[in-house]
A = this chain, B = another copy of it.
Amino acid sequence: MPVYKAPLRDMKFLLNDVFDYPKHYTSLASGENATPDIVDAILAECARFCEEQLSPLYQSGDEEGCILKDGQVLTPKGYKEAYNQYRMGGWQGLSAPEEYGGQGLPASMGLLKQEMMGTANWSFSMYPGLSMGAMNTIFLHGTDNQKHTYLPAMTEGRWAGTMCLTEPQCGTDLGQVKTKAEPRGDGSYKVTGTKIFISSGDHDLTENIVHIVLARLPDAPKGTKGISLFIVPKFLPDADGGVGERNGVSCGNLEKKMGINASATCVLNFDDATGYLIGPENEGLECMFTFMNTARIGTAIQGVGPAELSYQWALEYAKERRSMRALSGKKDPDHVADSLMHHADVRRMLLTQKAIAEGGRAMLYDAARLADHMVEGHTAGDTEKAAKYDDKLGFLTPILKGFLTELGNEAASLGMQVFGGHGYIREHGMEQIARDTRIATLYEGTTGIQALDLLGRKVLLTTKGGAVRGFTARIANFARKHLTNGRLRPFALELLKLTAQWNLLTMRIMLAARKDRDLVSSASYDFLMYSGYVTMAYMWARQAAVAADRLDKGGDESEAFYKAKLATAEFYYERLLPRAQAHATSMLSPTRSLMQTDSDDMAFTG
């Protein structure tokens, strides 16, 4: 069974050596308390919690799943106890405002916590994760009264929260939302409708659950401009900050899923439930999406965490399992066969996992600094600053969410592959990682939606290619600095070629799309994946640069660590990055072969 060990060495390498978080934190008001010592202590404590409390529940939670009993969802054995530990550790308030009982640390600290928790036990991590989304929404759009009613209990982890968007007829296309909210005349609303796929929609971890619900006011305009946002708590709050009357929201069904079985995915029925408007009327979608970038980056973690977990466990197996002899001659002559580690193709699989996990982690930590500034803008009420960093983050978000979750699935699948037939057997847990990870490209916007957001909105519509120009300038700037270093020159040269190509591809799509709008959609997936491979190449070069520098200086006790970094960077450039060129070719293909066949002529069965 996969046992999680927090990769603290790699995390600190990225935080301290590659991205200089200590300096970054000095630029933040919320960073005042995030001194290196404190950060180290928090990471160590969080690692211990994840390794000791969450990891052991990973497999049992999957086997047992959640149960709907007498209208109440029960989480698997041990989850409630683990959640109590989480709550008592103050983890939910880590990066929440001090005003409501949080510790006010930078948002990126929350991401580090999420990464560790999500790697140890993704399903568990979804309960506090969804709460965080609801907290953010209330913090930003709630009235003072709403904030004081909900945020302290949620920050404490005593209450949880959800985000209720999807309905049976619509997921992506929220303009089709039908749930109704009618004013009662007392300032509250009567909310009626059915929401599906509500993660953490009901559970037994907290005494209350605060639902943030998309619904339509009477006579609201059709489509996306007629949707408002409501707070609908499971229990109505009483005057003392405790729970009062049971509200008209109930879990009608628990979905049976491929994986994340310990995470309750609920059908929620709102039946004359009492709700409170949050944010302006008919601007619910905008409010809901204020923190979309951070939510999506939260999901991008699922591309990195499971890759790490699967890698750790596949590596252990590959060291122990013996099969055949290495092609270059016997390596373990005293044993009946050589360890899997001596087979180049097995190493190809393991290094692919490692490159994805560590390259993806770098992408997350790079972006998290922007999130820190954005959140700080919001906290300080500096909407201009918030918007500026949200824009920067907005370009990276679909790349991180779309690309990393696709690669996370590949990594999880490779972990099974290293195990051979044993990878398919449940007891080894490798197939669970694959099943759990499979949701990542589907929820919080499918890969297709991320691709369209990236190419259609962020690159073409909003910035006319400027987003790519800006980001590639940053990459090229880095590359030019390292052209003269022997170890780094191959990476730098490749990056310079890629930055030029990325801009050229963007330009060519922009021109072609003027004549054929469908091309934006047909090119989007390949453009997303291409962007991802180049971004990850940049991140591997950044890591290689630090490793090369340390090795050149010599005398570092981490020599083996840095050498492994360089080898993995080389591996990435040799064996994964070439895929970018296949995407470059595909994205420029005309739409003809895609669009010309009538729906009815797509299959000829019978």
Residues of A within 8 A of B (CB): 5-10, 166, 170-173, 175-176, 197, 255-259, 311-312, 315, 319, 322-324, 326-329, 336-337, 339, 341, 343-351, 354, 409, 413, 416-417, 420-421, 423-427, 431, 434-435, 438-439, 441-443, 446-448, 451-452, 456, 516-522, 524-526, 560-561, 563-564, 567-568, 570-571, 574-575, 578-579, 581-583, 585-586, 589-606
- State A593–B540 Cα separation when bound (angstroms): 14
Cβ of A446: which chain B residues have Cβ within 8 Å of it?
417, 420
Closest B residue to A349 by beta carbon equals: B448
A326 and B518 form a contact (CB under 8 A):
yes
B426 and A601 form a contact (CB under 8 A):
no
- Of B7, B417, B581, the residue contacting A581 (CB under 8 A) is B581
Cβ of A173: which chain B residues have Cβ within 8 Å of it?
322-324, 337
**Which are the 7 A-B pairs with shortest beta-carbon distances?**
A5-B605, A344-B521, A574-B589, A344-B522, A570-B593, A258-B431, A578-B585
A424 and B319 form a contact (CB under 8 A):
no
Query: Can you report 6 A-B residue pairs in the complex whose CB atoms are below 8 A from each other?
Result: A258-B424, A328-B517, A341-B599, A564-B602, A567-B597, A579-B579
Distance from A190 Cβ to chain B, minimum over Cβ atoms (Å): 24
Cβ of A420: which chain B residues have Cβ within 8 Å of it?
171-172, 442, 446
A603 and B571 form a contact (CB under 8 A):
no
A442 and B417 form a contact (CB under 8 A):
yes
Cβ of A582: which chain B residues have Cβ within 8 Å of it?
578-579, 581-582
- Of B346, B519, B583, B605, the residue contacting A312 (CB under 8 A) is B605
Given contacts A172-B323, A344-B518, A435-B435, contact A592 B570 (CB under 8 A): yes
Cβ of A456: which chain B residues have Cβ within 8 Å of it?
327
Distance from A419 Cβ to chain B, minimum over Cβ atoms (Å): 8
Cβ of A349: which chain B residues have Cβ within 8 Å of it?
448
Given contacts A570-B592, A606-B5, contact A336 B256 (CB under 8 A): no
Cβ of A197: which chain B residues have Cβ within 8 Å of it?
421
Given contacts A173-B324, A420-B171, A581-B582, contact A345 B256 (CB under 8 A): no
Given contacts A525-B345, A598-B560, contact A421 B434 (CB under 8 A): no
Distance from A306 Cβ to chain B, minimum over Cβ atoms (Å): 15
B438 and A311 form a contact (CB under 8 A):
no
Copies of this chain, tallied across the complex: 2
- State A567–B583 Cα separation when bound (angstroms): 20
Cβ of A259: which chain B residues have Cβ within 8 Å of it?
424
Cβ of A7: which chain B residues have Cβ within 8 Å of it?
603-605
Cβ of A561: which chain B residues have Cβ within 8 Å of it?
601, 604
Closest B residue to A255 by beta carbon equals: B425
- State A594–B568 Cα separation when bound (angstroms): 8
Cβ of A344: which chain B residues have Cβ within 8 Å of it?
518-519, 521-522, 591, 594-595
Distance from A411 Cβ to chain B, minimum over Cβ atoms (Å): 14
Distance from A132 Cβ to chain B, minimum over Cβ atoms (Å): 20
- State A591–B424 Cα separation when bound (angstroms): 29
- Of B327, B525, B593, the residue contacting A571 (CB under 8 A) is B593
A258 and B426 form a contact (CB under 8 A):
yes
Closest B residue to A63 by beta carbon equals: B256
Cβ of A8: which chain B residues have Cβ within 8 Å of it?
605-606
A605 and B6 form a contact (CB under 8 A):
yes
- Of B312, B329, B443, the residue contacting A421 (CB under 8 A) is B443
- State A345–B527 Cα separation when bound (angstroms): 12
B439 and A424 form a contact (CB under 8 A):
yes
Given contacts A354-B603, A582-B579, A594-B348, contact A176 B421 (CB under 8 A): no
Cβ of A598: which chain B residues have Cβ within 8 Å of it?
560
Closest B residue to A7 by beta carbon equals: B605
Distance from A588 Cβ to chain B, minimum over Cβ atoms (Å): 9
B347 and A594 form a contact (CB under 8 A):
yes
- Of B171, B312, B517, B601, the residue contacting A563 (CB under 8 A) is B601
8 more A-B contacts (CB under 8 A) besides A7-B604, A326-B521, A564-B602?
A6-B606, A328-B518, A345-B448, A345-B522, A347-B594, A567-B596, A578-B583, A579-B582
Cβ of A166: which chain B residues have Cβ within 8 Å of it?
421
Distance from A53 Cβ to chain B, minimum over Cβ atoms (Å): 17
- State A7–B604 Cα separation when bound (angstroms): 6
Interface centre among A416, A570, A602 (most CB of B within 10 A): A602
- State A337–B174 Cα separation when bound (angstroms): 11
- State A601–B563 Cα separation when bound (angstroms): 9
Distance from A538 Cβ to chain B, minimum over Cβ atoms (Å): 18
A9 and B605 form a contact (CB under 8 A):
yes
B442 and A438 form a contact (CB under 8 A):
no
Distance from A178 Cβ to chain B, minimum over Cβ atoms (Å): 10
- State A349–B578 Cα separation when bound (angstroms): 22
Given contacts A409-B413, A601-B560, contact A348 B443 (CB under 8 A): no
- Of B172, B350, B451, B605, the residue contacting A324 (CB under 8 A) is B172
- State A311–B578 Cα separation when bound (angstroms): 29
Given contacts A431-B438, A442-B423, A456-B327, contact A315 B348 (CB under 8 A): no
- State A389–B456 Cα separation when bound (angstroms): 53
Closest B residue to A259 by beta carbon equals: B424
A438 and B416 form a contact (CB under 8 A):
yes
A593 and B605 form a contact (CB under 8 A):
no
- Of B323, B434, B526, the residue contacting A258 (CB under 8 A) is B434
